[in-house]
Amino acid sequence: MKNIYGFTREMLEEYFIEKNEKKFKALQVFEWLYIHKENLENWTNIKKEIREQIKKDFSFTMPKIVKCERDTLTRKYLFELEDANHIEAVIMYHDYGISICVSSQVGCNMGCAFCESGRLKKVRNLETYEMVSQILLIEEDIKERISSVVIMGIGEPLDNYENVMHFIKIINDAKALAIGIRHITLSTSGIVPKIKKLMQENIQINLAISLHAPNDTLRSKLMKVNEVYNISQLIDAIKEYIAHTNRRVTIEYVMLKGINDSEENACELASLLRGMNIYVNLIPYNETNHIEFKKSEKQVISKFCETLKSKGINVTIRKEFGSKISAACGQLRSKEVEK
């Protein structure tokens, strides 16, 4: 049985047409699900026999929140799925609203050396409804609206392409969560063919690329994906994406003490990115008990940032969130698994 929260409005329109009903009923269903948030029995503008058919054809179940850790401007949620697997999501409070970082897979096969998520391998892709539910359940818990979404939690979004595309359509739908398309960011480790496929979707989301190193030797040590799609291939794909979409791309660069944070690394990174419509987001590393990498010192990050600026690169240092909780991606889940 398919879960109704995994259906885009277009998919529901097709469902109703197959049932010899008017497709506008999909719009009514979306309004009940996402705006009124009423139980099926209370869908007063939909005939009882149609409601009964919907009840037969669809599941309405959601994951369960099993844990929430809180810091000043951050909350991290652990969810239990129907098959007893666990995922997590994080919300962050900003001046401009509340953002959420959602997971797209149970575990991850990218195997990035510094990432807690990749330490526990991929079990399966998340279904679309399991991604949508992360937002719905947290909004219900905090009694506030989430205004921006980052697909940057556990998993590689482009490795779960179809479900992630459906997720984006649902949360962007004006009759669903109505999150502006330019308030949705997809972060990828750099699966080149899927970046090119995403480019053809012609959706104005933000694309973020996890680069984390300025040369192939270092990046291959940190990220297994570089052995398949090297930096040259990735940069070419980013340039193609920018030319096709006319959208600026974010380059994510996690700052690892003594690994990728030298003046030489900064100069090499600037040379690699010069002239591109990008900006670099320097990310202070969230340390974990299982991985030996350490966070670069603040003055080292500042110097790295200034070097990039001096060479004409747009760059910011990401504000640190969740230092007092299991903030690293996959950390809360791994604690639960190890129990």
| Catalytic residue flag (residue 80) | no
| Catalytic residue flag (residue 336) | no
For 64-338, which CATH class? Answer: alpha beta
How many CB atoms neighbour CB 322 within 10 A? 20
Catalytic residue among 13, 69, 88, 130: 88
Q: Hey, where are the domains in the chain?
A: 2-59, 64-338
Read off the pLDDT of residues 116-154 as tens digits, 9 standing for 90 and up: 876 678 999 999 999 999 999 999 999 999 999 999 999
Question: Which range, of 94-103, 111-120, 166-175, averages the lowest pLDDT?
Answer: 111-120
What is the third-level CATH fold of 2-59?
Answer: DNA polymerase; domain 1 (1.10.150)
Per this entry, what is the length of the chain?
339
Tell me what pLDDT residue 116 has.
82
**CB 209 within 8 Å of CB 199:** no
Catalytic residue among 101, 108, 112, 329: 329
How many CB atoms neighbour CB 261 within 10 A? 21
Cα dist from 39 to 32, 35, 59, whole Å: 8, 12, 12
Q: Element (H or E) spanning 186, and its range?
A: strand 184-188
Distance CA 52, CA 219 (A): 55
3-state SS class at 283: strand
**CB 259 within 8 Å of CB 293:** yes
Q: Element (H or E) spanning 79, and its range?
A: strand 74-80
Distance CA 58, CA 101 (A): 27
Read off the pLDDT of residues 231-274 as tens digits, 9 standing for 90 and up: 999 999 999 999 999 999 999 999 999 999 999 999 999 999 99
pLDDT at 324 over 90: no
Tell me what pLDDT residue 291 has.
87
Distance CA 125, CA 106 (A): 6
Mean pLDDT for the stretch of residues 204-208:
98
Tell me what pLDDT residue 290 has.
75
In the chain, how many H helices and how many E strands? 12, 14
Q: Element (H or E) spanning 168, and its range?
A: helix 161-172
Distance CA 278, CA 300 (A): 22
**CB 68 within 8 Å of CB 141:** yes
Mean pLDDT score of the chain: 94
pTM: 0.93
Spatial neighbors of 137 by CB under 8 A, at least 6 apart, are 62, 63, 65, 77, 79
Among 175, 131, 136, 180, residue whose Cα is nearest residue 157: 131
Distance CA 170, CA 153 (A): 18
Read off the pLDDT of residues 51-77 as tens digits, 9 standing for 90 and up: 999 999 999 999 999 999 998 899 999
CA angle 200, 206, 208 (to 5 degrees): 100
Read off the pLDDT of residues 14-45 as tens digits, 9 standing for 90 and up: 999 999 999 999 999 999 999 999 999 999 99
Distance CA 259, CA 23 (A): 56
pLDDT at 329 over 60: no
pLDDT at 338 over 50: no
Distance CA 83, CA 99 (A): 27
Mean pLDDT for the stretch of residues 151-158:
96
